[in-house]
Structure 1
Amino acid sequence: MGEGFSSRFSSEEMAAIRRSLRDEARFGSDFMALLKRVAKRIPFAEDLLAAYLCARDPATPRRVRLTLLAALGYFVLPIDALPDIMPLLGFSDDAAVIAAALAAVAGSITPEHRETAKEMLARL
């Protein structure tokens, strides 16, 4: 890793992440509101929604849920390596985090999660 790079979150950032994930209803509404605003502009919207559905599924193992919620939390929270308002680059860090999380838990996202995500996106 290069000099000056730190993968650690500040205490304020960690507190914001914990608050967001603790309040599941608010997290879900924040996630859906952001997804509605950006779904047409990001190519990984279906993956995001499938990950969210998998994380909410009670049959999903806890380790998988935590992995997905951490990645989704990065997408939702304004704490970002690259601000989402930057044209073209703004969501690239979010896409990388989501892609890494999906690769880590690929077998847990079912065809039903993906189909439901596709149907929900069609209604947005």
Structure 2
Amino acid sequence: MAENLSDQYSEESFWEKIKKFGKKAGSKVVYSALLLFYCMKDGNAPVWTKTVIIGALAYFISPIDAIPDLVPIVGYTDDLGALVAALGTVAAYINDDIRQKAKAKLADWFGPDSQDDVADIDDKFSK
């Protein structure tokens, strides 16, 4: 299943999903996805972390979910679960630079107050 999902991942589809559904998914889902995306792009992340990240981002992008994204209120809960599980696995490779890039992009989409909404994610996955 992971191979099938990873075949669905592309940077273009990642940005398309965030642009199209980011507001609906919410700042926590988007911030988690951005942390993973920027970690994957970081030159210090080993190959195995990129594999984990691609699997989680592919699940986020995939229209086939355990809970369909169009279901009101809970539609992105499974996506957040997959993203948070991947964050827990690769947390050691998420540095302050990655956090700053993710927060800057999040602020572009959700406004400067959005960083308050995601503080618990930073607290949970900080070194």
1:31 to 8, 11, 14: 14
- 1:70: how far off? 0.4
TM-score by length of 2: 0.75
8 Å contact kept, 1:47–1:114: no
* Alignment TM-score, normalising by the size of structure 1: 0.77
2:31 corresponds in structure 1 to: 46
Residues 19 and 103 of structure 1: is their aligned pair in 2 closer, same or farther, counting only changes over 3 Å?
Answer: closer
Alpha-carbon RMSD: 1.7
Query: Out of 65, 86, 90, which is 2:71 matched to?
Result: 86
| CA radius of gyration, larger in | 1
Task: Say if 1:68 and 1:18 are closer, same or farther in 2 by CA, change over 3 A.
Answer: closer
**Following TM superposition, by how much is the alpha carbon of 1:120 offset from its aligned partner in structure 2, in angstroms?**
1.4
Secondary structure class of the residue paired with 2:44: coil
Question: Following the alignment from structure 1 to structure 2, what is the Cα–Cα distance between the partners of residues 30 and 92?
Answer: 20
Structure 2 residue aligned with 1:104: 89
What does residue 58 of structure 1 align with? Answer: 43
- Superposed CA deviations along residues 20-42 of structure 1, whole A, max 9, x for unmatched, are 24xxxxx1111111112232332
Q: Secondary structure at the match of 1:79?
A: coil
Give the % identical residues.
30
Higher helix share: 2
Q: CA contact under 8 A between 2:29 and 2:76: conserved in structure 1?
A: no
**How big is the shift at 1:102?**
0.7
Output the CA distance in 1 between the equivalents of 2:41 and 2:52. 12
**Displacement of 1:18:** 4.3
The superposition leaves residues 3-56 of structure 1 with CA deviations (integer Å, 9 ceiling, x where unpaired) of: xxxxxx4xxx954x24324xxxxx111111111223233223112101111112
Aligned to 1:20: 8
Check conservation: 2:35, 2:98, Cα contact below 8 A: yes
